Amino acid sequence: MLPCTERLILREMVAADLPRLSAMLTDPVAMTAYEGPFSDEEVRQWYDRQQDNYRRYGYGLWAVDLAESEQMIGQCGITWQDVDGVQCPEIGYHIMREFWHQGYATEAARSFRDYAFSYLGMDEVFAIVRDTNIASMNVAIRTGMTIRTRYIKHYRGVDMPHYAFSVRKT
């Protein structure tokens, strides 16, 4: 069983996706929560981490394609993240800015939540959101998550307050 939705195809990223991935990760507005856009090297490292996740776990951040056009509009999936010293499965989501406010992040995140519970056998999944990222908080809430903790994450030389949202399998 692969996660999917009526409007979205969710699949592992391939090298041909690098231009679209780069367009998203180098967008200064879309990457505000990350303290600004990624460099070309940071984009490549991001992509390489996902390839490593696929090999190690069988999942990671996957490409999010529109079903109607097969155009990549973002990424979503499950990665292991440190939440205040504890490793937790996180549903991460990034959608290209021109596709914001159409429900794609929530749709993809719900699909991965269900995939984590039904196929991967996980009992709880998280969304780790910077405390200034209201849109991502709303996606977590619409995915059924509630705040579990607030902690400081050190990233790109900055201490950033984050919320760890989660939902448990029912």
The pLDDT assigned to 1 comes to 60
The Cα-based distances of 89 to 18, 22, 72, 117 in angstroms read 24, 24, 24, 11
pLDDT at residue 3 greater than cutoff 80: no
- How many Å apart are CA 115 and CA 162, to the nearest integer? 25
Phi/psi of residue 93, each to 5°?
Answer: -150, 135
Instruction: Specify the higher pLDDT residue, 42 or 3.
Output: 42
For 45, the token pair is 């490292």
Sheet bearing 146-155, strands edge to edge: 8-11, 61-66, 72-83, 86-95, 124-130, 158-168, 146-155
**Mind listing the pLDDT tens digit for each residue in 52-80?**
999 999 999 999 999 999 999 999 999 99
* CATH architecture for segment(s) 8-123: 3-Layer(aba) Sandwich (3.40)
The pLDDT assigned to 34 comes to 85
Look up the pTM and report it: 0.94
Q: What's the whole-number mean pLDDT along residues 13-39?
A: 93
Nearest residue to 115 (alpha-carbon basis) of 59, 43, 50, 32: 59
**Mind listing the pLDDT tens digit for each residue in 122-168?**
999 999 999 999 999 999 999 999 999 999 988 888 899 999 999 99
The pLDDT assigned to 32 comes to 86
pLDDT at residue 48 greater than cutoff 80: yes
**Mind listing the pLDDT tens digit for each residue in 87-111?**
999 999 999 999 999 999 999 999 9
